Amino acid sequence: MEAPIVIMWKEKGEKGEWFVAQEPITGVASQGRTADEAYANLLEALELYLEDYPELREKVFQKRHLEVKVDEASIVIG
């Protein structure tokens, strides 16, 4: 499956906890109440971003799978 590298972390704020997902090549980031929601929102934001920068699509979406979790932080690579 072709997927972007995603760096994800949880933040606590006045309105509760949020997950933040960021793709490091473009710097595009999004958030959600759950990790799945943050990831889905990030994919949507990436698609919109890549409409203006189609030359980055091949760098962003590659075949890979690696998932690393440390304490409450998660790093997911495609």
The three-class DSSP label of residue 23 is coil
Length of the chain measured in residues: 78
* Neighbouring C-beta atoms of residue 1, cutoff 10 Å: 8
At 11, list the tokens.
């933040």
Q: Which of 37, 47, 46 is nearest to 10 (CA)?
A: 37
Number of domains in the chain: 1
Q: What is the pTM of this model?
A: 0.76
- CATH code where residue 67 lies: 3.30.160
Query: What is the share, in percent, of the chain residues with pLDDT greater than 70?
Result: 78
Task: Please return the burial class of 42, using the count of CB atoms within 10 Å of its CB with bins 0-12, 13-18 and 19+.
Answer: buried
Give the residue, 42 or 5, on which the prediction is more confident. 42
- Determine the structural domain holding residue 52 and report its residue range: 2-77
